[in-house]
């Protein structure tokens, strides 16, 4: 059976790598991003080469109206939604000490990184539960892309850390609520991955990697995260839900 997947923030970076990995494996995709469709036309054409159905659902996941619109577009363009990948996220526009963080920056990051994914998941979960009596072994799957920042304190982007720590609890909450219904919920925690998000601080991280910051001696690539997400979506980590997979080159292991 071909499955339909929504990847928020699927138009570039980690989300796009996940999209490529899933398209290659026959999944039909709804790609979400904030830019208009015209700006991502080449990305969509590239994804279509694998033969899957690809639609673009432009919308800001922090907006209730946009979330509803995105799900309506999927219903019309693909039909039933089987898998949700909560990947879209932003860093604070400015890295500022928590003593100087503004309420506006806090709200923006929390709305996009946590409130949006929470209420999108709530809606998708309800749709999945409405279909629970259908004769299918696959009831659905949800993957949340959080970050090592869920457990690593960075005082210069505290709002980002709080949003990702919240996503960890959100993963557990939905895993508990949906576990008995046969819908696994997972969290993937990337470390430092080379994307537009890290472009401005890449030199600093490259130097840190050189000095032994990660056990795997390189920066992460979007494809590293995509491979893990594909394994989860394909059901290749059975008998697990609410679990976290760190794709961070080993940087999170406390050492003495
Ligand atoms: N890169 C890293 O080192 C790293 C590490 C740990 C975790 N992460 C997490 O991984 C996820 C992807 O990061 P990335 O590095 O791939 O970021 P990225 O290259 O900056 O791409 C962000 C994606 O999210 C979309 N997006 C941003 N705001 C949105 C909104 N309000 N509504 C819908 N879509 C929105 C963007 O859409 P447009 O293309 O339309 O702008 C884009 O597709 C994020 O949740 C991030 O926190 C990244």
Count of all residues that appear for the chain in the document: 256
Q: CB 76: neighbour CB atoms within 10 A?
A: 9
The answer to whether position 198 is within a domain reads no
The answer to whether position 213 is within a domain reads no
Question: Cβ(21) to ligand 1 under 6 A?
Answer: no
Active site residue 106: no
Nearest CA to 19 among 121, 110, 66, 88?
88
Q: Is the pLDDT of residue 142 over 80?
A: yes
Which CATH number covers residue 56? 3.40.50.720
Active site residue 50: no
The answer to whether position 218 is within a domain reads no
Q: How confident is the model at residue 1 (pLDDT cuts 50, 70, 90)?
A: low
pLDDT at position 213: 96
Distance 113 CA to ligand 1 centre (A): 9
DSSP-derived secondary structure letter, 195: S
The answer to whether position 171 is within a domain reads yes
The answer to whether position 187 is within a domain reads yes
Alpha helices in the chain (DSSP H): 13-24, 41-48, 64-77, 103-110, 116-130, 158-179, 202-210, 222-233
What number is the average pLDDT over the span 234-254? 97
User: How buried is residue 104: exposed, middle or buried, by Cβ count under 10 Å (0-12/13-18/19+)?
Assistant: exposed
Distance CA 161, CA 139 (A): 31
For 64, the domain range is 4-192+223-247
The answer to whether the CB of 92 falls within 8 A of the CB of 160 is: yes
Cα distances from 34 to residues 37, 40, 59, in angstroms, run 9, 10, 5
Number of domains in the chain: 1
Catalytic residue among 27, 160, 186, 205: 160
The answer to whether position 212 is within a domain reads no
164-214 per-position pLDDT tens digit: 999 999 999 999 999 999 999 999 999 999 999 999 999 999 999 999 999
């Amino acid at each position: 059976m071909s499955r339909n997947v929504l990847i928020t923030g699927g138009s570039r970076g980690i989300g796009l790598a996940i999209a490529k990995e899933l398209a290659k494996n026959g999944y039909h995709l709804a790609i979400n991003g904030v830019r208009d469709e015209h700006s991502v036309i080449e990305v969509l054409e590239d994804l279509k080469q694998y033969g899957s159905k690809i639609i673009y659902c432009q919308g800001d996941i922090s907006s209730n109206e946009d979330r509803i619109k995105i799900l309506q577009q999927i219903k019309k363009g693909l039909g039933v939604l089987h898998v949700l990948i909560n990947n879209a996220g932003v860093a604070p526009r400015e890295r500022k000490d928590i003593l100087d963080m503004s309420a506006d920056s806090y709200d923006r990051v929390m709305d996009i990184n946590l409130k949006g994914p929470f209420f999108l998941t709530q809606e998708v979960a309800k749709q999945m539960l409405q279909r629970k009596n259908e004769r299918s072994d696959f009831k659905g799957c949800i993957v949340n892309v959080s970050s090592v920042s869920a457990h690593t304190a960075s005082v210069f982007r505290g709002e980002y850390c709080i949003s990702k720590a919240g996503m960890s609890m959100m993963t557990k909450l939905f895993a508990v609520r949906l576990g008995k219904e046969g819908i696994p919920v997972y969290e993937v925690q990337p470390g430092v991955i080379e994307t537009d998000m890290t472009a401005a601080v890449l030199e600093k991280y490259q130097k840190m990697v050189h000095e032994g910051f990660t056990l795997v001696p390189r920066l992460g690539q979007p494809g590293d995260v995509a491979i893990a997400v594909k394994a989860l979506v394909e059901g290749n980590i059975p008998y697990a839900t609410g679990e976290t997979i760190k794709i961070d080159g080993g940087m999170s292991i406390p050492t003495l």
